[in-house]
Structure 1
Amino acid sequence: MSVDIAERGRSWFVEMWGKRNRALVTEWMDPDVVGWSAGQKIVGREAWLQGVYEPFIAAFPDLQLEVVGSVTEGDQVVIRWRFVGTHAGDALGVPACGLRLGLDGITWFRFRDGRIVEGQDAFDSSGLMQTLQSRQAQGGVSLL
Structure 2
Amino acid sequence: MDTLTNKEIIAGFFEIYNNKDYEAVYRYFSPHYVDHGLPQVKSLEQVIGILKLTHKSFPDLQVIINDLIEENNQVVFRGRFSGTHLGEFANLPPGGAKVEFEALEIFKIENQKITESWGYWPLSEIINQITAAANQKQ
- With normalisation by structure 1, the TM-score equals 0.84
Contact 1:106 1:122 in 2 (8 A): yes
What value does the CA root-mean-square deviation take over the aligned residues? 1.9
For residues 46 and 13 of structure 2, what CA distance do their matches in structure 1 show?
17
The correspondence of residues 3-82 of structure 1 with structure 2, limited to 5 A, is: 3-14=4-15, 16-37=16-37, 39-50=38-49, 52-82=50-80
Q: Residues 65-120 of structure 1, C-alpha deviation per residue, up to 9 Å, x if partnerless?
A: 10111100111001111011110112332110100121111121101110111012
Of 1-10 and 92-101, more deviation after overlay is shown by 1-10
Number of residue-to-residue matches in the alignment: 137
In the alignment, is the contact (CA less than 8 A) between 2:99 and 2:129 conserved in 1?
no
Counterpart for residue 126 of structure 2: 128
Q: Percent identity?
A: 21
Work out the CA distance in 1 between the residues paired with 2:137 and 2:76. 35
Distance 2:81 2:113 in 1: 24
**Structure 1 residues 55 and 136 mapped into 2: Cα distance closer, same or farther (>3 Å)?**
farther
Where do 5+ consecutive residues of structure 2 fail to align?
A: none
- SS of equivalent residue, structure 2 residue 22: coil
For residue 91 of structure 1, give the secondary structure of its aligned residue in structure 2: coil
In 1, Cα distance between the equivalents of 2:54 and 2:89? 7
Equivalent AA in structure 1 for residue 36 of structure 2: W
Distance 1:72 1:32 in 2: 22
Distance 2:121 2:65 in 1: 14
What SS does structure 2 have at the residue aligned with 1:18? helix
3-state SS of 2:78 partner: strand
Distance in 2 separating the partners of 1:11 and 1:46: 18
Q: Which runs of 4+ in 1 moved over 6 A?
A: none
